[in-house]
Amino acid sequence: MHNDQEIVESLRVGEAATAEPVPAVGLAELLPHLPPVQDLMDVLVSAFGREFGRPVCTGTLRPEEEELARGLAQRYRDDSWTWRR
């Protein structure tokens, strides 16, 4: 929210890791005041539901969902997937 790009910069790999940092802006620079984090989360969840035409449910994942998530995480962490063309 305050233009803290440290996490984003830490994720850069390959040639991007040595490139100049990308200028970014945070919500603090765009809004006259920062809303509470819970308000931001509520708006994002609501917009996600509207965009995909499905209500967003909270709770815990079922075991089969946990297993699927682990497999997908492994796939998407792989540089060959991230940098494919």
27-81 pLDDT tens trace: 888 889 999 999 999 999 999 999 999 988 888 999 999 999 999 998 888 888 8
**pTM metric for this prediction:** 0.49
One domain for residues 67 and 56? yes
One domain for residues 48 and 74? yes
The CB density around residue 40, as the number of other CB atoms within 10 Å, is: 13
Burial zone of 34 (CB within 10 Å; 0-12 exposed, 13-18 middle, 19+ buried)? middle
pLDDT band at 4 (very low <50, low <70, confident <90, very high): low
The confidence score (pLDDT) of residue 3 equals 62
The confidence score (pLDDT) of residue 11 equals 73
Structurally, how many domains does the chain consist of?
2
One domain for residues 44 and 30? no
Residues 6+ apart with CB under 8 A from 83: 14
pLDDT band at 5 (very low <50, low <70, confident <90, very high): low
One domain for residues 19 and 41? no
One domain for residues 29 and 41? no
One domain for residues 61 and 30? no
Q: Which domain holds residue 68?
A: 36-85
One domain for residues 16 and 42? no
